[in-house]
Structure 1
Amino acid sequence: MIRVRDLAARFGERTIFEHVSFEVRRGEVFVILGGSGCGKSTLLKLMVGLYEPAAGSVEVLGRVLAAAEGDRAVAGRERRALLRRIGVMWQSGALFGSMTLAENVELPIEEHTDLPREARALLARAKLGLVGLSEAAERLPAELSGGMVKRAGIARAMALDPPLLFLDEPSAGLDPITSAGLDRLIRELARDLGTTFVVVTHELQSILAIGDRCIMLDREAKGVIAEGDPRRLREESTHPTVRAFFRREAA
């Protein structure tokens, strides 16, 4: 689904990370983890084409979406078509406050399809039903809890039935019970719909609950210091930073 090759991110003279390479397999929940400031969200933005890499490339669904200068990436109409095949839920949910949940979810359907209004409305409500928000369809984002906003953000990200979903810190700001419920939802969607998830998080419980595989970024190393099943990394890694993260110990 995704191939990242020798990727580097820099802002001015500051290198965030470099020589990052990994693959995301079809149908898995792939987690990007690490401490604050290691470049998790920057990597996500590179993977969805919001940033251009300083070096390397990101291949999504068989096409190069982002590439360093000199390498060829998709552009124009082809790029827009590729971007419609991925969905993104940002940390805040990024819902439009003046629109109901149903209207928020319906917006990308209206923007990118020729479906009549009745069909768009039915599809939006179906997506809300998948995340347990059928009865909240006519409510505004301000009337919802933080967990409901995150679920609505996932519903909107799924509006166009993308095979690939990116979630940015889905558990951030949630209480443990709400976070656990969101973790269960992600696993259910991956299992029932066959959707591939890329999840950026530093929440240890969520990582262990949802992740099939992961990479761990490190600010000091400026790159990947671990890759694999998070449960195996917790039990078997000998890297001091990885052990400290998974065992909640001081490095």
Structure 2
Amino acid sequence: MPEKTKPVFGPPVITATDLTARFGTNTLFRHVSFEVKRGEVFVILGGSGCGKSTLLKLMIGLVPPAEGKVDILDTDIWATEGAARLDLLKRIGVMWQQGAMFGSQTLLENVEMPLAEHTTLPAEARREVARAKLGLVGLSAAADQLPSEISGGMLKRAGIARALALDPPILFLDEPSAGLDPITSAGLDALIRDLSRSLGTTFVVVTHELASILAIGDRCIMLDKEAKGMIAEGDPRELRDHGTHPTVRAFFLREAL
């Protein structure tokens, strides 16, 4: 069989430079720098307490860095204010770990909400777009159900559909596989991979789930609580097979230090 050709990614759409996260006297990580290329699935991984979710919040403008900066689509997210900042934020989508859906609204209404908030589309057009996004994640038949009426895996898919509502070029996913059984998790991994390749969307995924990292990641960085920073960067399969840092090897080979 011919060898699979590796996908070719575009120029960087996110550039993190010398980032430090600090809360009072507690430094979570320091001097973290990396780039995320257009169209790739970029994974932020590491053990509990290393600062993965904080890094995500810093990248999307929720938590300010103690030092350093983040450029998204050639714009410093922390140096941008007012309408320009809102325009930049509309170009990224976020799916939180628990889905963060509004319980009193149907899935269709949840996905339609960003369109009502940020576009001038008429109601019928908004509903059609929302139905299309639910179709992308395999939830067309569940459009009229409430979040409480669907499974955890479906809830994650609905969260991705809502994050896609405004067609952002970049999607951030926080622990998408958390709490899912292996089969459901594998299905979600396949969905993320398919959306990345079919839409050309850049995904930034925070996770510590090894199977998901290896299934979806084109490239990754690894944070470490003890080192208070980044200890590895590259193709996760290369890090698994050839990583030399003891913590990196222990993570990918599931070994005790």
The residue that corresponds to 1:222 in the other structure is 228
Q: Residue 13 of structure 1: CA displacement? A: 0.5
SS of corresponding position for 1:128: helix
Q: C-alpha separation between the residues in 2 aligned to 1:90 and 1:179?
A: 15
Residue of 53, 57, 62 corresponding to 1:50: 62
Pairwise CA distance, 1:213: 0.1
Residue type at the aligned position of 1:150 = K
CA positional deviation for 1:233: 0.2
Match of 1:175 among 176, 181, 200: 181
Partner Cα separation in structure 1 for residue 197 and residue 96 of structure 2? 22
User: CA separation in 1, counterparts of 2:53 and 2:253?
Assistant: 23
- 1:237 is aligned to 243
Deviation for aligned residue 1:238: 0.8
Shift of 1:206: 0.1
Gap runs ≥5 in structure 2:
1-12
Match of 1:24 in 2: 36
Tell me which of 4, 7, 31 is aligned to 2:19: 7
| Residue 134 of structure 2 is aligned to residue 128 of structure 1 | yes
SS at match of 1:74: coil
Inter-partner Cα distance in structure 1 for 2:195 and 2:153: 16
Q: Is 1:38 the equivalent of 2:50? A: yes
CA distance in structure 1 between the aligned counterparts of 2:238 and 2:56, rounded to whole angstroms: 24
Match of 2:5 in 1: none
Q: Deviations over 1:107-147 (max 9, x none)?
A: 00000000000000000000000000000000000000000
Superimposed CA distance per residue, residues 62-116 of structure 1 (whole angstroms, 9 cap, x where no aligned partner): 10002xxxxxx11110000000000000000000000000000000000000000
Query: What are the equivalent positions in structure 2 for 1:25-174 lying under 5 Å apart?
Result: 25-66=37-78, 73-174=79-180
Aligned residues: 245
Deviations 1:192-235 (A, max 9, x none): 00000000000000000000000000000000000000000000
How far, CA to CA, are the matches of 1:225 and 1:30 in structure 2?
Answer: 16
Could you state the TM-score of these two structures normalised by the residue count of structure 1?
Answer: 0.97
- SS of 1:56's equivalent in the other structure is strand
Distance 2:175 2:56 in 1: 11
Aligned to 2:195: 189
Give SS of 2:17's match.
strand
2:235 counterpart letter in structure 1: D
Q: Distance in 2 between matches of 1:130 and 1:214?
A: 26
Q: Unpaired segments of 5 or more residues in structure 1?
A: 67-72
After the TM superposition, which parts of structure 1 deviate over 2 Å for at least 4 consecutive aligned residues?
none
Q: Name the CA distance, whole Å, in 1 between partners of 2:24 and 2:104.
A: 38
Cα RMSD, aligned residues only: 0.3
Partner amino acid, structure 1, of 2:118: H
Distance 2:241 2:158 in 1: 35
**CA distance, structure 1, for counterparts of residue 163 and residue 180 of structure 2:** 20
The residue type paired with residue 55 of structure 2 is L
